[in-house]
Amino acid sequence: MLSCARRVAIFGGTHGNEMSGVMLVNLWVQNNTEVQRKGVEVQPFITNPKAVEKCTRYVDTDLNRAFTPENLSTLGGGDLPYEVRRAQEINRMFGPKGSPEAYDVIFDLHNTTSNMGCTLLLESSKDHFNLQMMNYIQKSIFPASCLVLLNEHPLLKYSTSRSVAKHPVGLEVGPQPQGVLRSNIFESMRDILKHALDFIELFNAGMEFPPCTVEVFRLSERIDYPRDDNGNIIAMVHPNLQDCDWEPLNPGDPMFQTFDGKTIHYQGSGTVYPTFINEAAYYEKQQAFATTRRESLVASAIRKA
Amino acid sequence: MELDEVVCFSRFSRVAICGGTHGNELSGVYLVREMQKAERKAKERGNDMEVITVLSNPRAVQRGLRYIDTDLNRCFTHAMLSGSNTNDAPYEIIRSRELNALLGPKGSRDAVDLVCDLHNTTANMGLCLISYSDSDWLCLHVFRHLQRQMPDVPTRFIHFNATNKESYSLDSVGKHGFALEAGPQPHGVMRSNIYTTMKMGVEHVLDWVCLFNSGFVFEGGSVDVYTVVRNIDYPRDRDTHNITAAVHPQLQDRDFCLLYPEDPLFLTLSGETLRYKGKEPLYPFFINECAYYEKGIAVSLARKRRVAIPAIRVQTEQEQQAKKDECTSEEEEE
């Protein structure tokens, strides 16, 4: 159990064209008053400065997939892709991943073109500290909502920049086009971080958080666009599904629409909750949307040791 | 202009539909691809009219970028088209010259009759027809036709007054031309409703051209035209040039809603509201267009006015012959 959450980082610009995080971190690097809390060292940090400068998702390879054990240990220096070198550097500064010296908490700020609202990204169903934090955030912002997406799927999970920390927390806010800064999206992200840092301060001050139930959406499957033999997309997300992140998708519901107007229906065995519907960055990752299943997790009581 | 005057234009023999001029504006990319697939079944529209479909910037399309070296849609001035290709010429300059050879040359008799260039915007602009002229009656009639055929889609005509500056965009290569802009859509994303709007828009443009070629007389009338007056940039940090405020939530997505003096424009990162200081109420559009951050435009402002358009029809064969004879005799006199 975490004795104290003393070292916290806020990552922005892991994808250089996701503007809320870039702007927030730049703001806090210049003036960190807003993110200071008693007893915590909070470090705002731009993870992919070259991509930020070019306002592109990445330069050579996706930084948020680059923190694999192979990448973190490989030699090669200047020959390595930019983001692999960067991952190694970040691992040195905020890790090493898996060691006692690693940062306690890292918040990683992202935007999506999908209509996901505010979403917290959880990497382990057994991370009671994170579950309690997410519960606290949800209660604090009520009636505004913030859903929790759990990616623990052995095949679909990936090595994120935040995974360097003991308690990685992803924050995804949308919809926002890449390269665009929308004021409401920016302020939502700012507000969530405020509550997250408040939680950490309360925890460090010795507050006990009793057991609680947190509803999560567990990542189940990735669904690609229908493609022809050459790999070209031959249908679009159906207008009935577009923007309906987190709403139930039932077998037989419209899913895609071909260019000449025909409907392709969802053929799954049961109701799922789709998310990341029509995310720009996932066209190249062969994903039109992801399906999730609703689940209730019980978080144990936590208190600073 | 007399109210009962009918203005005649020569028939359209070649129309170009261009997509992917910006490689991440996907409606045009996919629409051109679908049209090219259909073309392989070799079905031309009647009246001997040729429809040419072009993927303007294939390299940018392949990489999902707006452009590789420089914005292709700024490479069509006479100066940029007439230089010679050097080894280090930007890709888009080489490409603009190829497109000029294919669809132009700009300003010559051989240029295509109409260029319809397909674009998307992250701004909430619905469907817009964008032109350098507010007196190209053909374009204004096409616009009126679109409005009438698509009453559920907000459709507007934007006029960039380029009298001082030379035209620089792809649509200026044809004898007539305009951009068809549909939004809101994030770059790199294809929204089915926006694709459908674009597809219907292009179909109606081509239908109109066929109707025109067949001799139909389009009655006169009037249309609303938005003429660009000025652009407003984001407030920026003096040293880094980074933006220091976002478009105000009360302005965001309110394209074509009249902006009054003192209305909110921006919200700074420290929560301060910056207001519109102009004296004249104007119509904002291209509000928070992603690609315009680097061009220093947060919002464009336009005046709206009603423009009268005359009745038009195609020139008959006799009228065309008479015109040819007139030109020939003029040349002989010279």
Is the pLDDT at B327 greater than 80, yes or no?
no
The alpha-carbon radius of gyration of chain A (Å, integer) is: 19
> Backbone phi, then psi, for B7, in 5-degree steps?
-90, 135
Is A273 annotated as contributing to ligand binding?
no
Cβ pair A183:B242 closer than 8 A: no
Quick one: pLDDT band at residue B47, thresholds 50, 70, 90? low
Cβ pair A177:B186 closer than 8 A: yes
Supply B185's token pair: 């859509």
Between A55, A181, A278, which is nearest B189 by CB?
A: A278
Is A295 annotated as contributing to ligand binding?
no
Residue A240: count of CB within 10 angstroms of its CB: 15
Rounded to a whole number, what is the distance in Å from the CA of A113 to chain B's nearest CA?
Answer: 7
Tokens 């799954």, residue? A268
Is the pLDDT at A305 greater than 90, yes or no?
no
| B6-220+310-325 and B227-305 share one fold | no
What HEC string does chain A produce? Answer: CCCCCCEEEEEECCCCCCHHHHHHHHHHHHCCHHHCCCCCEEEEEECCHHHHHHCCCCCCCCHHHCCCHHHHHCCCHHHCCHHHHHHHHHHHHHCCCCCCCCCCEEEEEEECCCCCEEEEEECCCCCHHHHHHHHHHHHHHCCCCEEEEECCCCCCCCCCHHHHCCEEEEEEEECCCCCCCEHHHHHHHHHHHHHHHHHHHHHHCCCCECCEEEEEEEEEEEECCCECCCCCECEEECCCCCCCCCCCECCCCEEEEECCCCEEECCCCCCEEEECCCCHHHCCCCCCEEEEEEEEEEECCECCC
Q: Which one of B267, B290, B293 makes the best mutation probe of the A interface by having the most chain A beta carbons within 10 Å?
A: B290
Is the pLDDT at B26 greater than 80, yes or no?
yes
Is A18 annotated as contributing to ligand binding?
yes
Tell me, what's the pLDDT at A290? 98
Summarize the confidence of residues B144-159 as an average pLDDT. Answer: 98
- Name the DSSP class of B90: -
Summarize the confidence of residues A277-295 as an average pLDDT. Answer: 95
Is the pLDDT at B1 greater than 60, yes or no?
no
Between B34, B192, B242, which is nearest A26 by CB?
A: B242
Summarize the confidence of residues B253-269 as an average pLDDT. Answer: 97
User: Using beta carbons and an 8 Å cutoff, which residues of B are at the interface with A?
Assistant: 30, 33-34, 64, 122, 184, 186-193, 195, 199, 242-243, 246-249, 252, 267, 269, 288, 290-291, 293-294
Q: CATH number for the B227-305 domain, one of 3.40.50.720, 3.50.50.60, 2.20.25.160, 1.10.606.20? A: 2.20.25.160
Angle at B210 between CA B205 and CA B214, to 5 degrees: 145
Summarize the confidence of residues B174-182 as an average pLDDT. Answer: 97
Query: Which helix H or strand E contains B26, and what residues bound it?
Result: helix B26-39
Q: State chain B's mean pLDDT as an integer.
A: 93
Tell me, what's the pLDDT at B70? 96
**Which residues of A fall within a CB distance of 8 Å from B249?**
183-184
Comparing CA positions, the residue from A304, A301, A305 lying closest to residue A135 is A301
Alpha carbons A231 and A225: distance in angstroms, whole number:
10
Query: Which helix H or strand E contains B208, and what residues bound it?
Result: helix B192-213
Measured between CA atoms, the residue of chain B closest to residue A26 is B242
Tell me, what's the pLDDT at A240? 98
Summarize the confidence of residues B197-216 as an average pLDDT. Answer: 96
Quick one: pLDDT band at residue A4, thresholds 50, 70, 90? confident
Tell me, what's the pLDDT at A143? 96
Angle at B56 between CA B55 and CA B57, to 5 degrees: 105
Cβ pair B30:A175 closer than 8 A: no
Is the pLDDT at A149 greater than 70, yes or no?
yes
- List of residues 6+ apart from A265 with CB closer than 8 A: A251, A252, A253, A254, A255
Is the pLDDT at B331 greater than 70, yes or no?
no
The alpha-carbon radius of gyration of chain B (Å, integer) is: 21
Give the bridge partners for A212, in sequence order: A299
We find that the CATH architecture of domain B6-220+310-325 is 3-Layer(aba) Sandwich (3.40)
Between B242, B267, B290, which is nearest A180 by CB?
A: B290
Give how far the C-alpha of residue B99 lies from the chain's centroid of Cα atoms, to the nearest Å.
16
Is the pLDDT at B171 greater than 70, yes or no?
yes
Tell me, what's the pLDDT at B231? 96
Summarize the confidence of residues B328-333 as an average pLDDT. Answer: 70
Rounded to a whole number, what is the distance in Å from the CA of B255 to chain A's nearest CA?
Answer: 15
Summarize the confidence of residues A294-302 as an average pLDDT. Answer: 97
Give the model confidence (pLDDT) of B270-306 as tens digits: 899 999 999 999 999 999 999 888 889 999 999 999 9
- List of residues 6+ apart from A159 with CB closer than 8 A: A65, A66, A67, A68, A71
Residues of A involved in catalysis: 172
Rounded to a whole number, what is the distance in Å from the CA of B325 to chain A's nearest CA?
Answer: 47
Q: Angle at which helices A183-204 and A128-141 pack, to 10 degrees? A: 130
Tell me, what's the pLDDT at B313? 96
Poorest-confidence range of A203-212, A295-304, B163-172, B174-183?
B163-172
Tell me, what's the pLDDT at A77? 83
Cis bond upstream, residue B281 (ω within 30): no
Is A64 annotated as contributing to ligand binding?
yes
**Which residues of A fall within a CB distance of 8 Å from B269?**
23, 27
Supply A17's token pair: 């064209």
Are β-strands A289-299 and A273-275 bridged in parallel, bridged antiparallel, or unpaired?
antiparallel
Q: State chain A's mean pLDDT as an integer.
A: 96
> What does each C-alpha distance from A263 to A192, A241, A259, A279 come to in angstroms?
38, 11, 10, 20
Residue B311: count of CB within 10 angstroms of its CB: 17
Tell me, what's the pLDDT at B164? 59
Q: What ipTM does this complex have?
A: 0.94
Poorest-confidence range of A74-78, A288-292, B71-75?
A74-78
> What does each C-alpha distance from B50 to A4, B45, B197 come to in angstroms?
73, 8, 23
Quick one: pLDDT band at residue B334, thresholds 50, 70, 90? low
Quick one: pLDDT band at residue B88, thresholds 50, 70, 90? confident
Across the beta sheet with B155-159, what order do the strands follow?
B50-55, B14-19, B114-120, B176-183, B126-131, B155-159, B221-232, B299-309, B283-285
Whether A28 and A35 have beta carbons less than 8 Å apart is answered as: yes
Give the bridge partners for B128, in sequence order: B156, B181
Give the model confidence (pLDDT) of A108-127 as tens digits: 999 999 999 999 999 999 99
Tell me, what's the pLDDT at B46? 54
Residue A8 or B323, more confident: A8
Q: What is the pTM of this model?
A: 0.94
- Structural domain spans, chain B: 6-220+310-325, 227-305
Summarize the confidence of residues A130-136 as an average pLDDT. Answer: 98
Is A57 annotated as contributing to ligand binding?
yes
Cβ pair A183:B248 closer than 8 A: yes
Between B33, B190, B293, which is nearest A236 by CB?
A: B190
Is the pLDDT at A3 greater than 80, yes or no?
no
